[in-house]
Amino acid sequence: MPELSPAVQDALNNGRPVVALESTIISHGLPRPGNLAAARSFEALLTEAGVTPATIAVIDGVPKAGLGPADLERIATDESVIKVSSRDLGLAIAAGRTAGTTVAATSVLAARAGIRVFATGGLGGVHRGFAGTMDESADLTVLSRTPVTVVSAGVKSILDIPATLERLETLGVAVAGYRTNRFPAFYLTDSGEDLDWRVDSAEEIAAAMAARDELGETSALLIANPLPPERQLDPALHARVLADALAAAESAGIRGKAVTPYLLEQMQRATEGASVAVNLVVARGNIALAGQIATAWSARQR
């Protein structure tokens, strides 16, 4: 559990680098039809770097790490694919469903498979207006008890970032900026929030992973990897469209797991696709760094 593809099985057996990739970004985060090409390009980035990609999803009730071409296409194109967090996994498996896995669900399956490094675009977190809705992503609580290294461009800028950082601290999730002391904000390079820890190389991150193992640490290590400033969404445009998206979600009464996909889609529409282009740059940068970390980790095990 989960079922490993032959390539993932072989790489794990031989101590070669593997990176887990989430699939909700494919099924619910990026718009069709470009999402399929994006999913393929995420895997190719790793393969070209000598790292085995393990895209994680649930296919007809079978949790899988490493998808074949038909499974990847299904996740990207089939309208009946649902979004599952870790709490949903058992129910989705028993019901034979096909699902994209969030950061929370992907982390749980990656950890079960023995995959140490995982890449996403931007983590979930505490939503703005939390006091009224109590909407906080299970990504945070699951990472508090799942020993994976997650590479993410901070958390999505649609969220309450200072509150999310406070929760990460309370929950015992380790956070370090990659070549920065500032927490990134997904579409934006800098959230304005300071970080206590900065790491500058994949080897340094692998060393921290080893030290955390020695301690018996069971929480996640979050590596916050910012966009280059010249690639970020224009901050003025971002502020304007985000305000509109939040207002639209409020008046449409969007709740629960629909909130994040709804807000991302509103941003896509309002920026005429610019936010999608930035989302792809974010995801690719994180996947490339995750590949370097997995490579440094596997070299340490020899």
Site residues (vs ligand PSU, CB under 6 A): 22, 24-25, 28-29, 102-103, 120-122, 124, 137-139, 257, 260, 264, 279, 283
| CA 224/CA 151 separation, integer angstroms | 6
Determine the distance from the C-alpha atom of residue 86 to the mean position of all C-alpha atoms in its chain, rounded to a whole number: 13
Closest CB to ligand PSU among 11 and 289? Answer: 289
CB atoms within 10 A of CB 57: 30
Q: How far is the CB of 135 from Mn ion (least distance, A)?
A: 4
**Binding to Mn ion, residues 121-140 (CB under 5 A):** 135
Instruction: Give the helix ranges, DSSP H, for the chain.
Output: 6-13, 24, 34-48, 69-77, 89-94, 103-113, 130-133, 138-143, 161-170, 202-214, 235-252, 259-270, 274-300
> CB nearest ligand PSU: which residue?
121
> CB nearest Mn ion: which residue?
135
The SS3 assignment for 18 reads strand
- The partner in contact with residue 221, picked from ligand PSU, Mn ion, none with C-beta cut-offs of 5 to 8 angstroms by kind, is none
| CA 187/CA 172 separation, integer angstroms | 25
Closest CB to ligand PSU among 2 and 121? Answer: 121
Q: How far is the CB of 215 from ligand PSU (least distance, A)?
A: 26
Q: Is 160 near Mn ion (CB under 5 A)?
A: no
How wide is the angle at C-alpha 14 spanned by C-alphas 12 and 17, nearest 5°?
Answer: 55
Q: What is the dihedral of CA 179, 185, 189, 191, to 10 degrees?
A: -90
Catalytic residue flag (residue 22):
yes
Residue 137 assigned ligand-binding role: yes
Closest CB to ligand PSU among 4 and 264? Answer: 264
Closest CB to Mn ion among 88 and 135? Answer: 135
From the list 22, 64, 136, 257, the catalytic residue is 22
Q: What is the dihedral of CA 285, 287, 290, 294, to 10 degrees?
A: -140
Residue 138 assigned ligand-binding role: yes
Owner of token pair 């994680």:
56
Residue 135 assigned ligand-binding role: yes
Q: How many CA atoms lie within 13 A of 100 on its CB side?
A: 29
Catalytic residue flag (residue 257):
no
From the list 3, 156, 203, 265, the catalytic residue is 156
Cis status, amide bond into 2, omega within 30 of 0: yes
- The partner in contact with residue 139, picked from Mn ion, ligand PSU, none with C-beta cut-offs of 5 to 8 angstroms by kind, is ligand PSU
Q: Is 88 near Mn ion (CB under 5 A)?
A: no
- The partner in contact with residue 52, picked from ligand PSU, Mn ion, none with C-beta cut-offs of 5 to 8 angstroms by kind, is none
Q: How far is the CB of 122 from ligand PSU (least distance, A)?
A: 5
Residue 60 assigned ligand-binding role: no
Crossing angle of the two packed helices 274-300 and 34-48, in degrees rounded to 10: 30
Closest CB to Mn ion among 22 and 135? Answer: 135
Tokens read off for 296: 């440094």
- The partner in contact with residue 177, picked from Mn ion, ligand PSU, none with C-beta cut-offs of 5 to 8 angstroms by kind, is none
Q: Which residues participate in the annotated binding site?
A: 83, 103, 135, 137-139
Contacts with Mn ion, residue ranges (CB under 5 A): 135
The residues annotated with a catalytic role in the active site are 22, 156
